[in-house]
Amino acid sequence: MYRISSKWLYAFCVVWVFGLIGAAHAEAPPNIIVVYTDDMGFGDVSCLNPEAKFRTPNIDRLAAEGIALTNAHCADTVCTPSRYGLLTGRYCWRTDRKTGVMGAEGKCLITNERMTLASLLQQQGYQTAMVGKWHLGMDFPGDPGSRDWSQPVQDMPLDKGFEYFFGVPASLNYGVLAWFEGRHAKVPPTLYTAKKPNERYVDYRIKPPYEATPEETKQVLGKVGMEVAPDFVDNECLTRFTDKAISWMQQATNSDEAKPFFLYLPYTSPHYPVCPRPEFWGQGECGGYGEFVVETDYHVGRILKFLDEANLAENTLIVFTSDNGPENSWKQRIEEFNHYSSGPYRGGKRDIYEGGHRVPFLVRWPARIPAPGRRHDNLIGQVDLLATFADVTSAILPDDVGEDSQSFAGLLFDEKFQHERLPTVSHGANGRFAITSGTWKLVMPQRKLPYELYDLENDPAETQNLAASEPQRVKELENQLTRIVCRGRTTQGSVQQNDTGYWSDLSWLTPESYAAAAK
């Protein structure tokens, strides 16, 4: 069964819009790049926050030459579930991962049967690559202390639609730190280390010297430690990732086959450890954090420079966004530097409030986006990339794929297109739910926490809880959320199963009402 019968009107609009841009679309599908930063807040991009204490000219260029989607939301407020949502078009809380993040090692959260951005585009004839941070689980050979690194890593990006992989398994504080290429570490992680003091920030560093055993690590650093390769250094991530990304794109475009490419480029910055390279020290007015964002912007500029010099920029669709809001040190940056990483929004990483999940979202595609430099303020979700890329490449999604993904292709191609998204579900790191429909947002009760209702149009900072004065609106939004949760999808189509039954964070429901609503 295919997801076309429920979208006739929308499909007509998309076909009409594509007609406006001519037949070249069918002849020359775009290259696609998704740049995914880590813990970068809405206010950490200077074109979105004129008061930012550092400049991001290369990231700003994407907005100036494309479109800024200023009401865009990640799928969760921490790393692993956001990445799942971005790649699959499905909310992660539908899996057995209900809270928090994974470590470096474990069964991959994306099953081999689940369509991803990479497998969709691979089916459409694309070359596919991922360079950067994965954090969705990998199966390493053997157990810590008895690894056989001559054996291949399993259940990882190469099993999820990517033909090439270079990167790290997870956030740098989770270990198994090495430069993995394909299914093997270039230099195996046979040593051990733990977090070390960071002279430029409030967090930590992962850098040599490293110890030979966990026992030595505990003696030197006070902790048993984590596996690390002798050649691994935290502040080399951005440079190595960008080098490999450019090298792969050069190879992909020099191929006689001349197939389009898809590059997923999830950077490790500005997530801890905040470790700008010395050449960026002193840039901006926000200490080490600002320097690290400036360095990130520099590497985005390297990608843009390559596209320009290779004459690829015109027909390359770039999406730039972040996995969640800024780490808790955003509070210190306000006090010390008067820099607001969350922009005008409440909270940050892990929070159910806007600062936790409203993130930068910029799209550039010179060949197709008219009126560059415009902004769009209606709802968008990162889960929407799957359906959008399907539209861009004329693919049809099966009914049981991208269950929470709604295409926004129309607004890219027509500056007058009125994109109205279905309600968007937000999810905090502790499992708390919220739903946004239009400009109204309902935060659901959890344990002793009550309902919270906000009018985001008039109160974007979520300062006034209107739940008590708007009981009918609370009920309407609750009913919408119940339907989305229990039917296994946001989009229209046949009911899909969540991967588990009822769980305690659905506190407004009983197990019986959950089961009844899922029919």
pLDDT tens digits in sequence order for the chain, 519 residues long: 235 434 433 444 444 444 443 333 446 899 999 999 999 999 999 999 999 999 999 999 999 999 999 999 999 999 999 999 999 999 999 999 999 999 999 999 999 999 999 999 999 999 999 999 999 999 999 999 899 999 999 999 999 999 999 999 999 999 999 999 999 999 999 999 999 999 999 999 999 999 999 999 999 999 999 999 999 999 999 999 999 999 999 999 997 677 999 999 999 999 999 999 999 999 999 999 999 999 999 999 999 999 999 999 999 999 999 999 999 999 999 999 999 999 999 999 999 999 999 999 999 999 999 999 999 999 999 999 999 999 999 999 999 999 999 999 999 999 999 999 999 999 999 999 999 999 999 999 999 999 999 999 999 999 999 999 999 999 999 999 999 999 999 999 999 999 999 999 999 999 999 999 887
Q: State how far the Cα of 142 lies from the Cα of 154, in Å rounded to an integer.
A: 11
User: Cα-flanking dihedrals φ and ψ of residue 383, to 5°?
Assistant: -60, -15
CATH 3.40.720.10 fits 5-188+230-287+301-377+389-413, yes or no: yes
Q: How many CB atoms lie within 10 A of CB 39?
A: 27
Q: State how far the Cα of 35 lies from the Cα of 117, in Å rounded to an integer.
A: 13
Task: Give one DSSP letter per residue of 425-453, joined into a string.
Answer: EEE-TTS-EEEEETTEEEEPPBTTB--EE
Q: How many CB atoms lie within 10 A of CB 7?
A: 21
User: Cα-flanking dihedrals φ and ψ of residue 440, to 5°?
Assistant: -105, 135
| 338-372 pLDDT, tens digit each | 999 999 999 999 999 999 999 999 999 999 999 99
Residue 502, burial from CB neighbour count under 10 angstroms (0-12, 13-18, 19+) = middle
Cα 286 off chain centre by: 24
Q: Does residue 48 contact residue 42 with C-beta atoms inside 8 Å?
A: yes
Q: State how far the Cα of 474 lies from the Cα of 469, in Å rounded to an integer.
A: 9
CATH for the stretch 432-517: 3.30.1120.10
Classify the C-alpha dihedral 308-312-317-323 as positive or negative.
negative
- For β-strands 31-37 and 261-266, DSSP reports them as parallel
* CA nearest neighbour of 509 among 450, 454, 444: 444
Q: State how far the Cα of 373 lies from the Cα of 214, in Å rounded to an integer.
A: 53
Q: State how far the Cα of 463 lies from the Cα of 302, in Å rounded to an integer.
A: 40
What's the confidence (pLDDT) of residue 24? 39
What's the confidence (pLDDT) of residue 345? 98
Q: Does residue 228 contact residue 175 with C-beta atoms inside 8 Å?
A: yes
What's the confidence (pLDDT) of residue 375? 96
Cα dihedral: 337, 342, 348, 351 (round 10): 150
Cα 151–154–157 angle (5° rounding)?
Answer: 130
Q: Where are the domains of the chain?
A: 5-188+230-287+301-377+389-413, 432-517
| 154-186 pLDDT, tens digit each | 999 999 999 999 999 999 999 999 999 999 999
Q: Does residue 341 contact residue 44 with C-beta atoms inside 8 Å?
A: yes
| 83-125 pLDDT, tens digit each | 999 999 999 999 999 999 999 999 999 999 999 999 999 999 9
Beta bridge partners of 69: 376
Residues 6+ apart with CB under 8 A from 309: none
Query: Encoding tokens for residue 207?
Result: 């850098």
Q: State how far the Cα of 267 lies from the Cα of 276, in Å rounded to an integer.
A: 13
Cα–Cα distances in Å, from 517 out to 484, 497, 512?
10, 12, 9
Cα–Cα distances in Å, from 285 out to 7, 54, 270, 464?
49, 6, 16, 33
Q: State how far the Cα of 355 lies from the Cα of 346, in Å rounded to an integer.
A: 5
Cα 290 off chain centre by: 21
Cα–Cα distances in Å, from 504 out to 110, 178, 429, 433, 507?
23, 38, 14, 12, 6
Q: State how far the Cα of 314 lies from the Cα of 368, in Å rounded to an integer.
A: 9
What's the confidence (pLDDT) of residue 128? 98
- For β-strands 440-443 and 433-437, DSSP reports them as antiparallel
Q: State how far the Cα of 391 lies from the Cα of 394, in Å rounded to an integer.
A: 5
What's the confidence (pLDDT) of residue 27? 61
Query: Could you tell me if residue 201 is left (phi over 0), alpha (psi between -120 and 50 degrees) or otherwise beta?
Result: beta
pTM of the shown model: 0.95
